[in-house]
């Protein structure tokens, strides 16, 4: 068991703010697509490539850079990545051509992996009985950044042009680098393994750690359901049944921001009841969300109310599941938390990408009800994994210090 130093009371809030500001850099470009298209005289599809490359860069950064959190001191690593991100955002704001904007956007995505370094770092700064609550606090900041980024980018971009959000984000990111360099404690690296060994370890632990594999599969299925819903939602709202504009999606995203207040509570539930039970609650909530969202096919204000309620419930389920899963994996091997998070987040993003791809095709073939059926199928898969795995008690990894250890599971 790892010994955890005392954590200053304000530090989790600072780290949560850092998570939100950092991850927003990946998502605010999505709201700038029409403005970028008009500025450079290109099609909206081409302009959308900026946001796509930023997200792909983020996924690549998770796999390539996050394992370094176990190899290098995290404070200088976090500071350096934030500095690179700030410079890349500034370069994007000044980009003279589409190609330059695409290149700088990709760099922004690769370097914006600071939240995935701060989460395992925070887990190592507290005792096991507080780990869920602290992870929930940081996760709340992360969720807030994801959900509010589009509003930030769209509003500022409409008022001052598409370059303004990049400039503001660059200033905020550099200020954040200075604050974290001062606030974060210094800690010795957990391993001296070579870089190639770190990457291989992330893959290997998926095979050797059942709790990691279980957590990754839970989140891949629920995040896939989440991505299918949000990807197809714009098609439904702008289609003939509702006839709304794309801003309606942004309004629903703002409503979903309420889910960020549930993440700290989810962390406390994990500390009290264990990650397994919280996983079950989240799976059942996601299944209920799919049923509620199906009523959105009716159209009119009734359907819109169903969409609002269903999306909020789905957001809460997915975000609380994330807290439970990360609390579980961070308890497994203290010396390898960054590598564990790399494996987990990579699987989560693969599940989300698959959900988006399947959601578009389900909508094209079967409409909104087909998307809801896909969500139900993915959630039932998660439920089947829960029912066939250990449940009804805490696993060894999530048992608090001093508590009776569960009997080993029969193999």
Average pLDDT of the segment spanning 209-236: 88
Average pLDDT, the chain: 83
Distance CA 115, CA 326 (A): 13
Query: Could you tell me the residue range of the domain that residue 92 belongs to?
Result: 7-185
**3-state class of 267 per DSSP?**
helix
Same domain membership, residue 307 and residue 278 = yes
Examine the pLDDT at 89 and tell me if it is beyond 80.
yes
Lowest mean pLDDT among 41-45, 274-278, 356-360: 41-45
Average pLDDT of the segment spanning 68-88: 91
328, 215 contact by CB (below 8 A): yes
Packing angle of the helix pair 300-330, 275-294 (nearest 10 deg)? 160
Same domain membership, residue 175 and residue 208 = no
* Closest to 260 (Cα-Cα) out of 312, 224, 299, 330: 312
Q: pLDDT band at residue 10, thresholds of 50, 70 and 90?
A: confident
Average pLDDT of the segment spanning 87-94: 96
| Residue-wise pLDDT tens digits, 302-354 | 898 999 999 889 988 988 898 899 888 888 887 788 888 888 988 887 888 78
Q: What is the pLDDT of residue 391?
A: 56
Examine the pLDDT at 71 and tell me if it is beyond 90.
no
Residue 405 lies in a domain: no
pTM over 0.95, yes/no: no
Distances (CA, A) of 174 to 18, 21, 131, 219: 11, 11, 29, 32
Q: What is the pLDDT of residue 269?
A: 84
Question: Is the CA virtual torsion 25, 12, 259, 127 positive or negative?
Answer: positive
355, 224 contact by CB (below 8 A): yes
283, 411 contact by CB (below 8 A): no
Same domain membership, residue 168 and residue 23 = yes
Using the 8-state DSSP alphabet, how is residue 113 labeled? -
Residue 409 lies in a domain: no
Phi, psi of 112 (to 5 degrees): -85, 55
Residue 243 CB neighbour total at 10 angstroms? 10
28, 153 contact by CB (below 8 A): yes
390, 409 contact by CB (below 8 A): yes
Residue 240 belongs to a domain with what CATH number?
1.20.1250.20
Residue 406 lies in a domain: no
83 Cβ neighbours under 8 A, 6+ residues apart? 174, 177
Q: What is the pLDDT of residue 80?
A: 95
Element counts in the chain: helices (H) and strands (E): 15, 0
Residue 13 lies in a domain: yes
Q: What is the pLDDT of residue 44?
A: 67
Work out how many domains the chain is built from and give that number. Answer: 2
Distances (CA, A) of 362 to 52, 71, 226, 235, 370: 21, 43, 14, 12, 5
Examine the pLDDT at 5 and tell me if it is beyond 60.
no
């Amino acid at each position: 068991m790892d010994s955890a130093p005392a954590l200053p009371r304000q530090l989790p809030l600072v780290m949560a703010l850092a998570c939100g500001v950092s991850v927003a850099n990946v998502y605010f470009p999505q709201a700038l697509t029409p403005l970028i298209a008009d500025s450079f005289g290109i099609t909206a599809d081409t302009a959308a490539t900026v946001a796509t490359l930023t997200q792909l860069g983020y996924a690549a950064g998770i796999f390539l850079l996050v394992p370094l959190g176990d190899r290098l001191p995290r404070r200088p690593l976090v500071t350096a990545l934030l500095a690179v991100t700030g410079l890349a955002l500034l370069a994007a704001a000044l980009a003279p051509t589409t190609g330059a904007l695409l290149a700088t956007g990709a760099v922004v995505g690769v370097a914006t992996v600071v939240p995935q370094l701060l989460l395992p770092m925070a887990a190592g700064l507290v005792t096991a009985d507080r780990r869920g609550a602290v992870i929930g606090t940081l996760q709340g900041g992360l969720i807030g950044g994801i959900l509010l980024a589009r509003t930030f980018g769209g509003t500022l971009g409409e008022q001052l042009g598409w370059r303004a959000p990049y400039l503001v984000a660059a200033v905020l990111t550099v200020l954040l680098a200075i604050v974290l360099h001062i606030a974060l404690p210094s800690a010795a690296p957990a391993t001296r393994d070579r870089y190639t060994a770190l990457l291989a370890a992330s893959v290997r632990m998926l095979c050797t750690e059942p709790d990691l594999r279980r957590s990754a599969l839970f989140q891949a299925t629920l995040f896939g359901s989440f991505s299918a819903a949000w990807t197809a939602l714009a098609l439904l709202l702008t289609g003939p049944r509702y006839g709304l504009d794309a801003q309606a999606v942004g309004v629903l995203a703002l409503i979903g921001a309420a889910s960020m207040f549930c993440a700290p509570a989810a962390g406390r539930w994990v500390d009290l009841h264990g990650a397994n039970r919280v996983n079950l609650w989240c799976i059942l909530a996601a299944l209920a969300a799919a049923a509620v969202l199906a009523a959105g096919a009716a159209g009119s204000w009734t359907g819109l109310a169903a969409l609002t309620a269903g999306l909020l419930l789905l957001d809460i389920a997915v975000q609380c599941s994330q807290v439970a899963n990360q609390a579980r994996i961070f308890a497994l091997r203290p010396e390898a938390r960054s590598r564990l998070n790399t494996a987990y987040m990579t699987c989560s993003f693969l599940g989300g990408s698959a959900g988006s791809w399947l959601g578009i095709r389900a909508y094209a073939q079967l409409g909104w009800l087909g998307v809801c059926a896909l969500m139900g199928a993915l959630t039932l898969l998660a439920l089947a994994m829960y029912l066939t795995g250990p449940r009804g008690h805490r696993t060894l990894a999530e048992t608090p210090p001093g508590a009776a250890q569960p009997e080993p599971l029969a193999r």
